[in-house]
Chains A and B, each alone.
Chain A
Amino acid sequence: MKPRPFDYARPDTVDEALALLAEYGDEARILAGGQSLMAMMNLRLADPAVLIDITRIANLGYIRDASSNIEVGAALTQNKLLAWPDLKTKLPLLAAALPHVGHFQTRNKGTICGSIAHADPSSEIPLSLAMLEGEVVLRGQRGERVLKAKDFQKDMLTTAREPDELIVAVRFPVHGKGAAFREVARRHGDFAMVAVAATTDGKGSVRLGVGGVAPTPVVRAVNGNAKDAIEKLASELEGYEDLHASAQLRKDILRNLGPLVIAEAEKCAA
């Protein structure tokens, strides 16, 4: 289908975008890559009165290496980050996760920050941000605030962004140690039924993250026996049922992928 009619605005600066957000609030939606939003508009699941296209704002498509973290701007596409030469050494988790985000063709347009804003429970980038304990930089006319990933993503498709705020950047803490990412989907590039990520510091401290089993990414430290920790996590999580998988299947995928991903992360740290 086609989207319902809307007013289109294409600001040249962040300040212009913030002024539009202040004026229209939740009547407006930000258009960056549009790989989720445009699909939702075509399906009439989203119906904004005003669409604010931020893709022509200069200097929003950046990658900034601030040594302890990597900051990416609101218009940076997923493929641009994937092609960044330092990705494998500084953010190996993202290097492993990004190839699972949609397809080559959608990553050409889809943005890192847009995926964070959309907050799909099975989405790879929010899971990676939660795993690395990254930050989201929000700006409005009232000022700027920086939220931890866990404080930003509140629920399924729901974030702490206020209607007058723009996500101007996200920051991924540099984690050059072991990292691994796997997911199960019906077809590569489709929405993950379950995504599992693991990181290690190379000294025995392991973190495990799961997407697609709860409304938001779930991240736990794994102490002691990995198998027991995974079993405990799988039994604690409620899981949810939809067209793609039952709650039970989701939990079973976690039980199967968990040990593999932890072993891969430990191997890559060694």
Chain B
Amino acid sequence: MRRVNKGTKVRIGLTLNGRKMSAETEPRTLLSDFLRHSLGATGTHVGCEHGVCGCCTVQIDGAAVRSCLTLAMQAEGRDVKTVESLAGPDGTLNKLQQAFRNHHALQCGFCTPGILMSFTDYLSRNPKPTEEELRDVLSGHICRCTGYAGIMAALKEAVGLT
């Protein structure tokens, strides 16, 4: 059994975007803050901190989840992927990212990392979704500047829906 008392710092390790990393944390630290502040992976954004807005969505063992509703301790030993994993090593955007660029699917970009991580998981399970299915998954995210038309256009391009 793993036990860590309040205020006690322990070192935890996890795989972040394919690289083994470790840092100190305490029980109350959220995974979103651990990624940003301890591991320097600031691509993951923090919005509402109660699971509603979707900005902080990352993948743990392939499943898109809210990192603000996950403790850093819970990610110990797990495979975590963030938006930094998507582009190629030379910065080439992947298909989904390129579609977002093509359709101006972002303005301030705050919500974008979460949306990309959600759909990276969802499309791996259902590569040929309907528009309705795309809308359903997108309902787990809030965008406050572009509206959703550009995002839907990008998603449809990425999955070949016309």
Interface size class of A (residues with CB under 8 A): 35 or more
B160 to chain A, nearest CB (A): 20
Interface size class of B (residues with CB under 8 A): 35 or more
Check A104/B27 contact, CB under 8 A, given A34-B69, A39-B51, A42-B68: no
Interface: A10 (CB within 8 A): yes
Main DSSP-derived SS at the A contact region: loop
Task: Please choose the segment from A1-9, A84-92, A164-172, A253-261 that sits at the chain B interface, where 4 or more of its residues have CB less than 8 A away.
Answer: A1-9
In the bound complex, do residue A6 and residue B2 qualify as a contact, i.e. CB atoms below 8 Å apart?
no
In the bound complex, do residue A7 and residue B6 qualify as a contact, i.e. CB atoms below 8 Å apart?
yes
Interface: A67 (CB within 8 A): no
| Among A8, A34, A105, residue most surrounded by chain B Cβ atoms (within 10 Å) | A105
Residues of B within 8 A of A11 (CB): 1
Interface: B70 (CB within 8 A): yes
In the bound complex, do residue A16 and residue B139 qualify as a contact, i.e. CB atoms below 8 Å apart?
no
Instruction: Give the distance in Å from the alpha carbon of A38 to the alpha carbon of B68 in the complex.
Output: 8
B94 to chain A, nearest CB (A): 20
Check A188/B118 contact, CB under 8 A, given A7-B27, A34-B70, A106-B51: no
Check A9/B3 contact, CB under 8 A, given A2-B33, A2-B49: yes
Interface: B158 (CB within 8 A): no
Instruction: Give the distance in Å from the alpha carbon of A9 to the alpha carbon of B3 in the complex.
Output: 4
- Which A residue sits closest to B5, measured CB to CB? A7
B65 touches which one: A4, A6, A42, A105 (CB < 8 A)? A105
In the bound complex, do residue B140 and residue A43 qualify as a contact, i.e. CB atoms below 8 Å apart?
no
Instruction: Give the distance in Å from the alpha carbon of A64 to the alpha carbon of B125 in the complex.
Output: 24
Instruction: Please report A residues at the B interface, Cβ cutoff 8 Å.
Output: 1-12, 16, 31, 34-35, 38-39, 42-43, 51, 53, 55, 79, 99, 102-106, 108-109, 187-189
